[in-house]
A and B are shown apart, each in its own frame.
Chain A
Amino acid sequence: DAGITQSPRHKVTETGTPVTLRCHQTENHRYMYWYRQDPGHGLRLIHYSYGVKDTDKGEVSDGYSVSRSKTEDFLLTLESATSSQTSVYFCAISDGDRTEAFFGQGTRLTVV
């Protein structure tokens, strides 16, 4: 299995608090992605990175920010968590923009 670790795996937080999710890879892959998955919506891209300090928005980026200060880490921050951000968050990595991606085990976030 690809070396991808997401932390935390589970989190419950209160509305209005900031939350940071971490994705760590040991594969030295250039691309990293954050997706959220909700019933009826499938996997939706939040943000992605194509290199250190190079990031771009996905289709559901509002309320989220990301940072990538080194190749192995990609952080997702919910600036002020809302109940609509309750979801399962997956990180993925790939070594090219048209190659297969490998996923972390996911983070289950509940905003109460």
Chain B
Amino acid sequence: RKEVEQDPGPFNVPEGATVAFNCTYSNSASQSFFWYRQDCRKEPKLLMSVYSSGNEDGRFTAQLNRASQYISLLIRDSKLSDSATYLCVVPQAGTALIFGKGTTLSVSS
């Protein structure tokens, strides 16, 4: 099992839709998790941090399921500007940040 796995998509949704992405991880000892957003040809930028069961910021909700070893990102009321690639990151203690390959979201009008 790869350390961090994401469904690459693409997810094509209309404006206003709710969409969710999952990210599975292999290290059961992981304590913190991050979602990043990356626009085309730009650097990744931190979207949300998850340290316990979940986190919510406006239209974005991240949830952690430790038993099944996955984190999810829910986007409500999708906007055109949400179109991007969403990267899941699982830090590994004593080593380095491991990125998933990303999930591509395309929101259309």
Contact = CB atoms under 8 A, between A and B. Distances in A.
Contacts of A31: 96
B100 A42 contact: yes
Interface residues of B, number: 24
A22 B101 CA distance: 25
Contacts of A45: 96-98
Interface in B34-61: 34, 41-46, 49
A41 B45 CA distance: 18
Q: Is the interface of A mostly helix, strand, loop or mixed?
A: strand
Contacts of B42: 105-106
Given A33-B97, A100-B46, A106-B43, 9 more contacts: A31-B96, A40-B101, A43-B87, A92-B97, A94-B97, A98-B32, A100-B34, A105-B43, A106-B42
Interface of A: 31, 33, 35, 40-43, 45, 48, 56, 58, 88, 90, 92, 94, 97-106
